[in-house]
Chains A and B, each alone.
Chain A
């Protein structure tokens, strides 16, 4: 019987090809628009490190101006001072901890044929790599001792390793960075979490860095800072004064395994701030935060307002398309009144007929869904082109999304078809069968 209904559906859809095409096109457009914006939103709010996101915490302390809150009082500052990061690192109260800042440097390759190049760098702690599960292809991270001893070590990314060393295992090789000789200790594989959750202050979807060096080298002026800097009061002359100032430019992540560990760490932070108050710092009320990756991303509103607005509009667009479908299905099915009357006379019950026409609606829904996927595919390419590097590599339809598209289309069309089908099957056979 099911195959019979499929065949009848096919015949009917083909016979009224204009109407069917209109319906499928409308549904396809609605689904295409919706899936494009849903995918963008889904990917922007996806958890970039799901197996660990709830154990990694971003630290915020409110060291800001007592007269003028940082974020209109909503949030404490989004970075820490050098003083505070260094103190927290020294205290070693977490399972793993990482202080970091964005930087840049000039590499002078040994090979005089290769021109000096400027690379994006991250100055961070040894724990960075283990905390964020950074994949290595050669060597590994430097040790905590290397951090403390301010050793000139560097981890390269795959592309930089290709450019300078031709892609070979360069562990142990020397490399000249900003006039100093560094030693390569590791090379990481292609790694691009989306969003780049570990530092969203300069751009949530920026590319990961080309080289990684120990954080302390910034204070040694061996690499140059390039991240955001915010100061609420003047810092005094010179770099030393800057390091000791209330300017915030560092980020601090900790890894805490259990809920208890988190509570303990928060207590530690509170105690630390209390202690600092004695030195005349932290004049604001205590507002220390530990945010998991997901909390932090949400707090920083990584999903752009634009993306959300377009998703809302897409859903409304889809509703219009479905209303359209209800209308057209109504037109189509009511037009079948004579056939419905006849089938009833020949022995079909109302529920049998309902089933037959719901299947027809379902077929249209699946066709619309497939067309919608096609539109969504091009829609995402269009989005990438229009938005440029901001969205680079962000927009792909994964299998789940595709299934979702077909499912939404199928069920939405069936729901759209319920009223028309019910109306059509209510027809009195006797009225349809007389030609007068």
Chain B
């Protein structure tokens, strides 16, 4: 428009003030864009489905200390009692809990031998009630039959011959077509065969930060173990009511063991992602505060810069400029400064992003986010300068003639 050349020349005569605002805008954009980037990444991680019926499941730890404890009989009695409790859909014994941070993983391979490439997967020892208890969805094949379930002695090195795996695991085994995994055999502990009899849609591993978090396998093992988990699923809405009841029933039934850490899956998820959540909250605070500071900084500098030019502005009005034309001058001036700031900010945002991608192993930022950042900062700048520009427009033309 008409005034741009004028504005630019005026700015060049007062470089430092303009540069300060441009740099602030640049840095704010760099931080803001990348903070949002990190928040989005964390958010998407936190929203991943674990495969479980999280709203209605909970678990507890059963630790045995009695001397002559019949592990097998007692565990079966425990499970029967839980399963028969009104309001309970099903229950199983299990060796680890998804998203809890602790568990078992094994290395599996296509062929037997001690020098083959392996794929890691989380391993859950369960019985034929698992699919019903966990709430996972079987999308191919079938469940274990009751006769498939074996007992595992402490330190036993042999494995059952059947397994149910997740789709993600099948995809790793057979990248071209995961469905062909059904019925195939792979090898555990270097040379023990295991056949895939079923494929689940989703079941996450215990470690949410692990690259293989979507790879899990169910193995038909009941554990003769002194310490294991009982995993319980209730009817909708009855979980909280049943948790203390089941805890009490089990504890009273047998005093030679300790029942503790009765936890819901929802609590487990919250704890699992606690750091993600915290980081997100902090980053959000940083973005908001930063924007406010830059905004107010622009307001402050603009007010000062306008005060210095009071006479000049009054003179312009005396010569015939309208209030809107005065306002427009400052809006355009701010826009030009923001342009410089945004350009530097884009470079800065990309540079910081490269560092973040390298440190955290993420996918690089998308173009949309950078555009969003740029637009956001233009808006912040214009909003910030609105009040000072309005004040400038209100300077009476009479100031042109005043001398004091």
Contacts and interface: CB of A to CB of B under 8 A. Distances in A.
- Given a CB threshold of 8 Å, the question of whether A touches B is answered with yes
Interface of A: 19, 22, 26, 29, 33, 67-68, 106, 108, 115-118, 178-179, 224, 233-239, 241-242, 304-306, 308-310, 312-314, 316-317, 319-321, 323-324, 326-328, 330-332, 334-335, 382-383, 386-388, 390, 419, 423, 435-436
A227 to B, nearest CB: 11
Contact of B24 (A115, A323, A386): A323
Nearest to B101: A203
Nearest to B42: A306
Chain A to chain B: the 6 pairs with minimum beta-carbon distance, closest first: A331-B304, A386-B278, A106-B65, A234-B189, A324-B297, A327-B20
Contacts of B31: 313, 316-317, 320
Contacts of B286: 33, 313-314, 317
Contacts of A179: 65-67
Contacts of A238: 155-156
A327 B301 contact: yes
A316 B345 CA distance: 13
A67 B190 CA distance: 13
Contact of B289 (A29, A178, A233, A237): A29
Given A33-B286, A106-B63, A179-B65, A323 B308 contact: no
Interface stretch (B91-99, B123-131, B269-277): B269-277
B204 interface: no
B363 interface: no
Contact of A327 (B153, B226, B300, B307): B300
B293 A241 contact: no
A320 B24 contact: yes
A386 B282 contact: yes
A306 B275 contact: yes
Contact of A334 (B154, B192, B308, B404): B308
A307 B17 CA distance: 34
A390 B274 contact: yes
A22 B189 contact: no
Given A117-B258, A320-B290, A328 B190 contact: no
B157 A241 contact: yes
23 contacts: A22-B297, A22-B300, A179-B65, A179-B67, A224-B226, A234-B190, A234-B192, A309-B38, A309-B359, A310-B279, A316-B30, A317-B290, A323-B20, A323-B24, A324-B24, A330-B20, A330-B301, A331-B304, A331-B305, A386-B281, A419-B16, A423-B16, A436-B403
Nearest to B23: A323
B404 A22 contact: no
Contacts of A335: 304, 307-308
B116 to A, nearest CB: 8
Interface in B278-309: 278-279, 281-283, 286, 289-290, 293-294, 296-297, 300-301, 303-305, 307-308
Given A305-B360, A320-B293, A323-B23, A388 B274 contact: yes
Most B-side CB within 10 Å, residue of A68, A106, A235:
A106
A324 B23 CA distance: 9
Contacts of B46: none
Contact of B157 (A117, A237, A313, A328): A237
Nearest to B294: A320
B23 to A, nearest CB: 5
Interface in B110-129: 114-115, 118
A321 B360 CA distance: 27
A319 B27 contact: yes
Nearest to B113: A67
A19 B300 contact: yes
A179 B294 CA distance: 67
B307 A320 contact: no
Interface string B1-38: 00000000000000011001101100110110011001
A155 to B, nearest CB: 20
B258 A116 contact: yes
B260 interface: yes
Nearest to B225: A224
A323 B18 CA distance: 12
A26 B157 contact: no
A397 B277 CA distance: 24
Contacts of A26: 293, 296-297
Interface of B: 16-17, 20-21, 23-24, 27-28, 30-31, 34-35, 38, 63, 65-67, 114-115, 118, 153-158, 189-190, 192, 226-227, 258, 260, 271, 274-275, 277-279, 281-283, 286, 289-290, 293-294, 296-297, 300-301, 303-305, 307-308, 355-356, 359-360, 403-404
Nearest to A423: B16
B226 to A, nearest CB: 7
A327 B293 CA distance: 12
Nearest to A203: B101
B300 A241 contact: no
B382 to A, nearest CB: 18
Most B-side CB within 10 Å, residue of A19, A29, A242, A331:
A331
A224 B30 contact: no
Given A316-B31, A330-B16, A334-B308, 16 more contacts: A237-B153, A237-B156, A306-B275, A313-B286, A314-B286, A317-B290, A320-B27, A320-B31, A323-B23, A323-B297, A327-B21, A328-B297, A331-B300, A331-B301, A390-B274, A390-B275
Nearest to A37: B282
B320 to A, nearest CB: 24
Contacts of B271: 388
A31 B359 CA distance: 25
A327 B17 contact: yes
A305 B41 CA distance: 15
A5 B313 CA distance: 35
Contacts of B279: 306, 310
A312 B31 CA distance: 10
Contacts of B359: 305, 308-309
Contacts of A117: 258
Contact of A241 (B38, B155, B190, B275): B155
A383 B275 CA distance: 10
A284 B271 CA distance: 39
Nearest to A420: B16
A118 B227 CA distance: 11
Nearest to A23: B300
A435 B274 contact: no
A383 B24 CA distance: 27
Given A68-B118, A241-B157, A309-B38, A334 B293 contact: no
A326 B307 CA distance: 18
B17 A330 contact: yes
B105 to A, nearest CB: 10
B274 A328 contact: no
A419 B23 CA distance: 16
B156 to A, nearest CB: 6
Contacts of B275: 304, 306, 387, 390
